[in-house]
Structure 1
């Protein structure tokens, strides 16, 4: 298992390096005159040249990248070109909001999707048909549309929840619960049906295999077969689907946080991209990639524990 984890960590490090290079190059190539964007059109050529020198933009791209990489490896992601706030500080204040929302939704999705998916696979009745219909509807309606509907009816018209976030530095648990409820519900509705459909398919596939018939012929009860053997074999497929949903959710929260005015990573990424604030954009991208790598690593470890063949391969 140690070798297995080491290989996954090595692969993650390669992916992180490749993404950092690609993102860095694309950002600098596509941003035009960065110093001019910062100073505005009224700035003189001399002021623009001085600003480029201050930011190190007069150096070759390769030197700029390795300078940034060296600082990043020491934990220094630089500072915003517009606010001068350290990027690490900006991320530290916004990561808890985004991660609380995403992981709360993901835990609820995993529990509900597993229960509904197993029930649909075993009963094959109205629950099964409902799950399949829900999967089609859930895949057809984007999360931001669900978010707008929730804001309109439950926040603005019914007044049950705040239409915009009340989270601020030092906010108590009540503010977090009220502000997070509707965004989590939006992510939940969008994710449960698809997850339940995939888990249903994985469980049905396992129930149709020969080893299940063999266990039944030995007189082993259906409950023991389901919970001791079938779910263990179907779990890797379910974990993979849930990990993909979580990764997709990290991109979807950008819009969800904008709708609910949550002070998370989404508004920061949108603002930094619009301003060509490259240190902040690089920080957001690196944070996202690290989360994706950690999630994939955890899923691989769980799959390796559930299925020894994965560790061998």
Structure 2
């Protein structure tokens, strides 16, 4: 209960700090929503009138206080760029970003853990090749990899669409095809990091005395590797997976721009260009909520994998 209480307090503090910083930083960008809505041909009188209607003429602290009071009661306001409520806009875009993030995390975890375990068990050339692949995966820019995948598998070999998104409810098959390239773009770089971390953790575990004892008792090698060594090596891997998932939040901005996907990342870019402060705040809150949930899941996995971490 103490851990849950500490997690709740730290999550509330994180949400408050992120919302306040986002509000201040967004207000410092040149221009404002009234100028964007009216355009350059508006008269000064029209501009000032719209600023009063939107509450932009109030002090920044007062604007934030009013927004915070409504947000605590679940009202995130109305998006200035499209006239919808912020909640409706986020509901329409959240599924796209979650599909990208979860898909990329699965690709990174399955491919990375598989390669890491195989490299630790086999070693030799495979281990050196994994080191090279890890460096390449970290060095290759994501947008360049995305463009290569589009050129190869959407233009040269038209297996997948180069852009666009199909909702799952419309067509599960087309939904899957529209996500393959962006998910692979996000997941490949992460899989290299996970593979190297898994291999290093597995090598440390395979050298421990209890592994020698298990092998001496005739336990099958597959059981030694997967049921014992991998379980104990999973704690640092889970840490990296948690950090990777948080990093994927920024990666979605790039992937959605390259593949023209209507997710939270592209919404954040659009809202920033339009100086749509309520929508910017809504996207920031969504990303913060994802980070908070990821931290909780990592804590729960720690308890599951290593009971000694409880306390």
Shorter chain as denominator, the TM-score bin is over 0.9
**Could you tell me which residue of structure 1 aligns to residue 237 of structure 2?**
238
Aligned to 2:146: 147
1:280 corresponds to = 279
Structure 2: distance between partners of 1:134 and 1:296: 28
Match of 1:50 in 2: 49
Post-superposition offset of 1:223: 4.0
Which consecutive unaligned segments of at least 5 residues does structure 2 have? none
- Which consecutive aligned stretches of 4+ in structure 1 deviate over 6 angstroms post-superposition? none
Are the aligned partners of 2:80 and 2:276 in contact in 1 as well (CA < 8 Å)?
yes
What is the rounded CA distance, in whole Å, between the counterparts of 1:80 and 1:86 in structure 2? 6
Find the residue that maps to 1:41 and give its secondary structure: coil
Bigger shift: residues 155-164 or 195-204: 155-164
| Structure 2 contact 165–262 (Cα < 8 Å) conserved | no
Total equivalences in the alignment: 311
Distance 1:208 1:169, change over 3 A: closer
Is the Cα contact below 8 Å between 1:167 and 1:262 reproduced in 2? no
Structure 1: 5+ residue stretches without partners: none
Instruction: Report if the CA contact (8 A) 1:5-1:301 is conserved.
Output: no
TM-score w.r.t. structure 1 length? 0.92
Instruction: Provide the secondary structure at the position in 2 that maps to 1:294.
Output: helix
For 1:26, what is the secondary structure of its paired residue? helix
Show CA shifts across 1:237-264 (max 9, x none).
Answer: 0011111111111101111111111121
Larger mean CA deviation between 11-20 and 260-269 belongs to 260-269
- Answer yes or no: is 1:198 the counterpart of 2:205: no
Q: 1:3 to 1:126 in 2, by over 3 A?
A: same
Distance 1:170 1:112 in 2: 28
Change in 2 beyond 3 A, CA 1:223/1:173: closer
Q: Which residue of 1 aligns with 2:291?
A: 292
Cα distance per residue 1:33-77 (max 9 Å; x no partner): 443333223222222221121111222222211211121122211
TM value normalised by structure 2? 0.92
Q: Distance in 1 between matches of 2:177 and 2:216?
A: 53
Call closer, same or farther: CA 1:222–1:168 in 2, change over 3 Å.
closer
Distance 1:166 1:277 in 2: 24
